[in-house]
Amino acid sequence: MTKVRAYIGLGANIGDARATLTAAVHALAALPDAELAGVSRLYRTVPVGVTDQPDFHNAVAAVDVPEGSDAGGPIALLLALKSIERAFGRQERFRHGPRELDLDLLLFGVRQLSVERPAMARSADPAKTDILLRVPHPEAANRLFVLAPLADLVPDLIPPGWPESVARARARRESVEGAAAVRPIAAWNSAGGAWE
């Protein structure tokens, strides 16, 4: 079975966010035929969009998963991520609102793809997109809370379609948002399976 490295953004700001994200990393590692390949530092981040809410905790996990065929691999992973979110009590709220757990598929190997939702699954809500999945994640290059932890794992990587490396994108966003927008608060201890 051919595997590909996927990078998954993790975020939470409701309840014990640190404990939730630790458990979510273990849930990712437990996915069928998956292998945890790395975990970034844990960051405390300023909310984006809706600022009247608690700070977030954010991280990125690298997971080797089955490649699948065409869009099958990334879609299977996306469905698994949504299932994990539901298992952790994720509630549907307004865009950029509080989250029990948010898991975003940021990168799936070197794939660049866009998959539309089936017509029957589209929402009447104009704020919701008709795109089921876009890889690389369309907003990742401009989200410091994604770029900081992703740069911990692959600073020199130039994701498909990006004009710059992850580290350069992080520096660009940090110059706009300020270094205080993302603060590392713990490093992942792979032996202990937790941030310390």
CB atoms within 10 A of CB 160: 13
**Distance of alpha carbon 100 from alpha carbon 184, whole angstroms:** 20
Q: What are phi and psi of 66, to 5 degrees?
A: -60, 135
Catalytic (active-site) positions: 90, 99, 102, 104
**Distance of alpha carbon 195 from alpha carbon 190, whole angstroms:** 8
